[in-house]
Amino acid sequence: MLNFLVILLLAGIGAVVRDYITETFPKSILGTLFVNSIGGFLTGILFQSVMYGSDFFNLMMLGFLGGFTTYSTFTKDQYILLKDKKYSHLLLYTLGTFITALLFFYLGIFVTK
């Protein structure tokens, strides 16, 4: 039960931090791209430096990073780009998000080796 409450608290903190960061990029998909890239970086650090599957790892992944990163906003942004027929932006945004998050994940692993 304690882990559940800690996950809730950390997810709330992650969501507030995400909102604060994305508000610095008003009406722009760059905030979501930035947050998801930083989330990838922090995931890489956790993956490399904390025992995978440990309580701390799970609390941070499910809690803070679960609230911080935002797949739902990413998907909403994709839908809007598709609806507005901005196909090249959609492609760049989608590939850019996946590629930068993965590169930042590896960067997180690299800096903690």
Q: What is the pTM of this model?
A: 0.89
Q: Phi-psi category of 109—alpha, beta or left, where left has phi over 0 and alpha has psi -120 to 50?
A: alpha
d(CA 8, CA 12): 6
How high is the mean pLDDT of the chain? 93
Mean predicted confidence (pLDDT) in 12-17: 96
Closest CA to 63 of 16, 22, 9, 1: 9
Angle value at C-alpha 24, between 59 and 108, nearest 5 degrees? 40
H helix intervals, the chain? 2-22, 30-49, 55-59, 65-68, 71-83, 87-111
* 69 appears as a binding residue in the annotation: yes
Name which of 21-30, 68-77, 78-87, 88-97 the model is least confident about: 21-30
Q: What confidence tens digit (pLDDT) does each residue in 34-82 have? A: 999 999 999 999 999 888 878 899 899 999 999 999 888 899 999 999 9
DSSP state of 86: -
- Identify the pLDDT of residue 28: 83
d(CA 74, CA 18): 13
* 75 appears as a binding residue in the annotation: no
